Amino acid sequence: MAKLSKKAPTFQYGIQITKPHSSAMYDHNDKVAEVLKSTILSIWEKALKNASITWENNLEEDQKGLSFFHDASFTSEDDSHLAKLSKAISFTGYGSGFTIEDVNDDFKNDLENMPNWQLHECYGEMKHDGLVPQMEENISYGASCGAMMVGFPNEYYYGSVYNTYDCYEDQLTDELEKVANPNYSNPKYKKATPEPVIVTSYLSPFTGSTVECSKALDNEMANESENIQ
């Protein structure tokens, strides 16, 4: 029976992809998750502020100062930015009887406790729907701009396409060295430095004859001096 060749390891952002996930993969994904959650929360709070301004501007004069936005009713039926964000994270709709405060509490709790694999999927879908921006943080070595989580399938991309390639043993060494030293280059692939060319004579433009360089003459004179001594 022919011996099967061992599959070459695969890297994403300089991290070797393994099953089950390695500690390096978990660490990378946790860092990405922090950025994704912070981005989503910032967008949610901005949407809340904009909704609050709109709500207050629509109040009757005699109601201003007596009603509060967090007690206002919330519905998922409208097509507002706030409703779209809520559905994307909480995966549920809200009918009558729920307030802005209820929805806000659910949203923050669902976002905080969302597992990485689900957050990875959600952010990709939200990016596809125009609710969140592309990931811009450079989390790991090898990411030209934004890094996505690793080890999960991607239906939608929300960061730079990672440098995925099959890697052999010498390339694996290169990856590990580059993490510690970005200027590292494998001496195996260094071009040989050509030997310097020493010019000992040149063709005179005046006489057309070969004239020895002064360095060659100096060496000749030095040799003659040594012979005399």
Tens digits of residue pLDDT in 16-27: 889 999 999 999
195 domain-assigned: no
The answer to whether residue 92 sits within a structural domain is yes
32: containing domain: 10-57+69-187
Is 212 a domain residue? Answer: no
- What Rg do the C-alpha atoms of the chain give, in angstroms? 34
The answer for residues whose C-beta is within 8 angstroms of residue 159's C-beta and 6 or more apart is 134, 135, 143, 145, 146, 147, 148
8 Å CB contact between 178 and 141: yes
pLDDT digit string, tens, across residues 108-159: 999 999 999 999 999 999 999 999 998 877 665 555 457 889 999 888 888 8
Query: Distance between CA atoms of 124 and 115, rounded to whole angstroms?
Result: 14
Asked if residue 197 is part of any domain, the answer here is no
The reply to whether 224 falls in a domain is no
Cα 45 to Cα 92, 93, 94: the distances in Å are 19, 19, 19
**Does some domain include residue 161?**
yes
Per the structure, the count of domains in the chain is: 1
Q: Name the 3-class secondary structure at 73.
A: strand
Q: Quote the tokens at residue 35.
A: 């950025």
Q: What are the residues facing 15 on neighbouring strands? A: 12
Q: What is the mean pLDDT of the chain?
A: 75
Report the pLDDT value the prediction gives residue 115, as an integer from 0 to 100. 97
State how beta strands 165-166 and 15-16 pair: unpaired
Instruction: Indicate if the pLDDT at residue 63 is higher than 50.
Output: yes
Q: How far is it, in rounded angstroms, from Cα 70 to Cα 144? A: 41
Q: Give the separation between CA 37 and CA 135, rounded to whole angstroms.
A: 11
- The pTM assigned to this predicted structure is 0.66
Q: Are the C-beta atoms of residues 210 and 202 closer than 8 Å to each other?
A: yes
Is residue 121 in a domain?
yes
Query: Does residue 17 belong to any structural domain of this protein?
Result: yes
